[in-house]
Amino acid sequence: MKDNCKGAKPQSKLIITDYKDKIASVLTEDSRPVQISLESKNQESILGNIYIGRVQNIVKNINAAFVEIAPGLTGYYSLTENRRHWLGDQPEEKNLQVGDEIMVQVEKDGIKTKSPTLTSDISLAGKYCVLTALNPKTSFSSKIRSSHWKETVKELIEDRKPPSRGVIVRTNARDASYEEIFQELDGLAGEFEKVLAQRAFRTCHSLLYQASAPFLREIRNVYADTLKAIVTDKQDLYDEIFRYLSLNQPEDLEKLVFYEDPLLSLSALYSLETAIEEALQPRVWLKSGGYLVVEPTEAMTVIDVNTGKFSGHKNLRDTLMKINLEAAHAVARELRLRNLSGIIVVDFIDMEEEEHKKLLLDRLEKVVGKDPIKTLVVDITRLNLVELTRKKIQRPLYEQLAGMF
């Protein structure tokens, strides 16, 4: 059943604990933090929630509507991307009017001055698969490579899923049994039918579906084959995680660990404060002596690669190539660690040889391909500026820490 992938994989732990007035989820690989997420204890995330909203305004020049999903809370709803609308229990392709009440899902958090992004393409995610409401196709994570495995699973899913719903098979499914995948799929399909049933009699601004807390989503989304432990030192968090795993991922209950040590806190054990402080610093030193400067802006993130203290090879071309290749790994790590998204431009050290440029792009594509969030290397310009995009889902770490909700 398993789609085995060759190659050594890092061993990971998910640390969930309090950090100041927030809940911190820190994923470590081989004891090194690779992903940090902070959420407010005082305000719940709305990402993934499903609401009945009212169309408040339609702006024709940007082909978008603004939909109020709660009193005083309005989201951006693209009419280019959302052509079918949930005015009832079935999606309809029609022109929206101000005052229409439609079912929408929060697709992206609001960031700074930007409203939350809403979608009619409603989906419910599990550990092994995602149920989609509009696209009836079955597709697979790009990280699942086995064609034979995908063909077998697709045929079984097509016979099992509701005809009008689609399924995205997630990376974790490659290590699951058919029974585990189908049991989850049946549960997601049943959950969506409950949402539709509520839609029939609930009023505007009703919350039809509340997504799991962000720290529970981290548990669901982490690669299961490398996760060795879920560790917390807070009884309330332990109890909530235990309930979540019991209902949704009972196979992972044995990984849940309650940490107790009156002399050394969990945060201190994993140097959580130091890791967060380092992830907020603009300068990132490389082992070679070179360094990155990471500068998020309103429009994009700019990363500059510098030679710094490097004093290696006499051959200048080899020197620059070594720094750039090391920087490629560091760029991939910092994007994930800081949760930087949108447009990213990396100013690597200038290289003259086309062969070196190709090698650098190939290496960068390989390392960003390991990111659970879709990251694409777009191109390299004549000025040796490398353009990337990373899908926007949650706020970047610096905004999470600043409490910009």
Q: How many domains does the chain have?
A: 3
DSSP assignment string, 55-75: EEEEEGGGTEEEEEEETTEEE
Residues 361 and 254 reside in one and the same domain: no
Domain boundary among 92, 121, 150: 121
Q: Global pTM?
A: 0.85
Counting every residue written for the chain, the total comes to 405
Asked whether residue 345 is assigned to any structural domain, the reply reads: yes
Residues 255 and 363 reside in one and the same domain: no
- Answer left, alpha or beta for residue 189, where phi above 0 means left and psi between -120 and 50 means alpha: alpha
Residues 233 and 334 reside in one and the same domain: no
Domain boundary among 274, 292, 316: 274
Q: Which domain holds residue 332?
A: 281-401
Contact 87, 80 (CB under 8 A): no
CATH number of the domain that residue 68 is part of: 2.40.50.140
Contact 92, 43 (CB under 8 A): no
Residues 294 and 357 reside in one and the same domain: yes
What are the pLDDT tens digits along the chain (405 aa)? 444 444 456 789 999 999 888 899 999 988 889 999 998 887 778 999 999 999 999 999 999 999 999 999 999 999 999 999 999 888 999 999 999 999 999 998 877 667 899 999 999 999 999 999 999 999 999 888 899 999 999 999 999 999 999 999 999 999 899 999 999 999 999 999 999 999 989 999 999 999 999 999 999 998 888 899 999 999 999 999 999 999 999 999 999 999 999 899 899 898 888 999 999 999 999 998 889 999 998 889 999 999 876 655 557 777 888 899 999 999 999 999 999 999 999 999 887 788 888 899 999 999 998 888 889 999 888 777 999 999 888 888 988 887 433
Phi/psi for 193 (5° steps) reads: -65, -35
Residues 360 and 303 reside in one and the same domain: yes
- pLDDT given for residue 346 in this prediction: 95
Asked whether residue 202 is assigned to any structural domain, the reply reads: no
CA distance 228 to 5: 18
- pLDDT given for residue 5 in this prediction: 40
Residues 305 and 378 reside in one and the same domain: yes
Q: CB atoms < 10 A from the CB of 83, how many?
A: 13
Domain boundary among 74, 95, 121: 121
CA distance 166 to 146: 21
Residues 315 and 352 reside in one and the same domain: yes
